[in-house]
């Protein structure tokens, strides 16, 4: 797997080589094969002039430390962020420019994190503080388990010092900004790895490019977090064949609606533990769907739905296959509507119990269910 460094930069390109040095001195060493720099118009000029070329700081770092692979950073990988007007950005000075930068950073990280053969190492040490926060937020949204976030800590007397780009193998003397003599052996560069919450699993898997702006993507993630923490109420409109999940309308097929209605009425009107104010992990009202109970349960479902849910079937196996197929299609419809899948979707039909004793019901709490 290839290591890729993604770094923010303002007017001090030293942060790029300092980060490369710090990564290469970790245990085990991290040696990025690619370097991507996200910066402003003036920052890009400084990076090209001072980092690139045969006499640039990157070439000097490679010459001294000979990392393998050699970090590749052509001029095309120095990305100039644009303002709200679509022009190269000089600085983030307005709310509109801030939003434009957020969108660009989010889209860039999304595309990089979709590369299956790379591990991202993101440095938020350079650039405006706002840019660092936005980079970290973008990584929270799309970062994978292997992707990392860092901040580089450089002693104040060496920070942004014109002639200092990384601690050289052979110590050198430099003149500090206050005129004091400094030896490069005093430059203790530290790389702080910053843990972050990975929200990637809360976002639609395909296609991620349809998620929209940074703000829209954040709202999508927040909505799904709210669904996990406190699901929106469910209102069943039987006549319309519609389930209302909060403000969202979910149209179901007649058979799907009948099954959902039957299981909802089971929870509402046939609760096995009425002393419990909320359901919690209780599954006592779930209906048994075992080899010996298929026919009985089919009749119970029909009574509670007010119409047949499953056909009579030629035998128990046929009824069982009908039911499993119906549950699968219903859950797929609910997953698509809500944007959560599997155990994360609180509105699904769930199963419980060991094989041969399986029971089925709705996971949503009874206090969240109403019927029109």
Return the pLDDT at 339.
Answer: 78
* Top-confidence residue, 372 or 3: 3
Return the pLDDT at 211.
Answer: 65
Determine which of 68-82, 196-210, 214-228, 349-363 has the lowest per-residue pLDDT on average: 196-210
Q: Which of 154, 144, 138, 127 is nearest to 38 (CA)?
A: 127
Give the model's confidence band at 318: pLDDT under 50 very low, under 70 low, under 90 confident, else very high.
confident
Q: Which of 168, 191, 165, 172 is nearest to 16 (CA)?
A: 165
292: Cβ contacts below 8 Å, ≥ 6 apart: none
With a cut of 60, say whether residue 210 has pLDDT above it.
no
- 315 neighbors 341 (Cβ within 8 angstroms): no
223: Cβ contacts below 8 Å, ≥ 6 apart: 339
Q: What is the pTM of this model?
A: 0.74
Please name the residue that has the structure tokens 């047949």: 308
Task: State the SS3 of the chain.
Answer: CEEEEEEEECCCCHHHHHHHHHHHCCCCCCCCCEEEEEECHHHHHHHHHHCCCCCCHHHHHHHHHCCCCCCECCHHHEEECECCCCCECCCCCCHHHHHHHHHHHHHHHHHHHCCCCEEEEEECCCCCHHHHHHHHHHHHHHCCCCCEEEEEECCCCCCCCCCCCCCCCCCCEEECCCCCEEEHHHCCCEEEECCCCCCHHHCCCCCHHHHCCHHHHHHHHHHHHHHHHCCCCEEEECCCCEEEECCEEEECCHHHHHHHHHHHHHHHHCCCCCCCCCCCCCCCCCEECCCCCHHHHHHHHHHHHCCCCCCCCCCHHHHHHHHHHHHHHHHHHHHHHHCCCHHHCCCCEEEECCCCCCEEEECCCHHHEEEC
With a cut of 80, say whether residue 315 has pLDDT above it.
no
Rounded to 10°, the helix 214-229/95-113 angle is: 70
Mean pLDDT of 303-319: 81
Please name the residue that has the structure tokens 């052509």: 74
Return the pLDDT at 159.
Answer: 86
Query: Cβ of 112: how many Cβ atoms within 10 Å?
Result: 20
Please name the residue that has the structure tokens 């039987």: 238
Determine which of 2-6, 78-82, 88-92, 170-174 has the lowest per-residue pLDDT on average: 88-92
Q: Average model confidence (pLDDT) for the chain?
A: 89
Rounded to 10°, the helix 294-305/316-338 angle is: 50
Mean pLDDT of 189-215: 79
With a cut of 70, say whether residue 132 has pLDDT above it.
yes
Pairing between strand 248-251 and 242-245? antiparallel
Please name the residue that has the structure tokens 């779930």: 286
Return the pLDDT at 348.
Answer: 93
């Amino acid at each position: 797997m290839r290591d890729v460094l993604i770094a923010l930069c303002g007017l001090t390109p030293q942060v790029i080589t300092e980060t490369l040095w710090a990564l290469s001195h970790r245990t085990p060493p991290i040696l990025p094969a690619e370097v991507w720099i996200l910066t402003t118009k003036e920052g890009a000029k400084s990076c090209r002039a001072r980092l690139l070329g045969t006499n640039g700081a990157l070439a000097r770092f490679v010459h001294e430390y000979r990392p393998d692979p050699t970090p590749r950073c052509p001029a095309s990988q120095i990305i100039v962020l644009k303002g709200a007007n679509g022009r190269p950005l000089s600085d983030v000075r307005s709310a509109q420019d801030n939003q434009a930068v957020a969108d660009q950073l989010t889209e860039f990280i999304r595309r990089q994190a979709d590369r299956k053969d790379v591990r991202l190492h993101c440095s938020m040490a350079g650039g405006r503080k706002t840019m660092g926060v936005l980079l970290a937020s973008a990584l929270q949204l799309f970062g994978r388990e292997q992707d990392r976030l860092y901040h580089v800590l450089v002693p104040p007397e060496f920070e942004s010092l014109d002639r200092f780009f990384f601690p050289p193998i052979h110590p050198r003397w430099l003149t500090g900004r206050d005129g004091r003599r400094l030896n490069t052996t005093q430059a203790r560069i530290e790389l702080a790895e910053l843990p972050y919450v990975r929200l990637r699993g809360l976002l639609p898997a395909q296609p991620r490019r349809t998620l929209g702006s940074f703000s829209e993507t954040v709202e999508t993630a927040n909505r799904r977090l709210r669904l996990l923490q406190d699901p929106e109420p469910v209102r069943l409109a039987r006549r319309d064949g519609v389930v209302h999940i909060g403000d969202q309308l979910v149209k179901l097929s007649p058979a799907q609606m009948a099954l959902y209605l039957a299981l909802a009425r089971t929870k509402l009107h046939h609760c096995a533990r009425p002393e419990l104010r909320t359901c919690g992990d209780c599954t006592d009202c779930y209906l048994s769907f075992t080899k010996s109970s298929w026919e009985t349960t089919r009749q119970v479902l029909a009574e509670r739905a007010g119409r047949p849910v499953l056909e009579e079937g030629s035998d128990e196996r046929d009824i069982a296959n009908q039911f499993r197929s119906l549950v699968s299609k219903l859950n797929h419809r609910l997953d698509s509507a809500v944007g959560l899948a599997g155990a994360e979707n609180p509105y699904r039909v769930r199963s419980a119990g060991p094989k041969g004793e399986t029971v089925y019901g709705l996971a949503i709490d009874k206090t969240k269910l109403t019927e029109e």
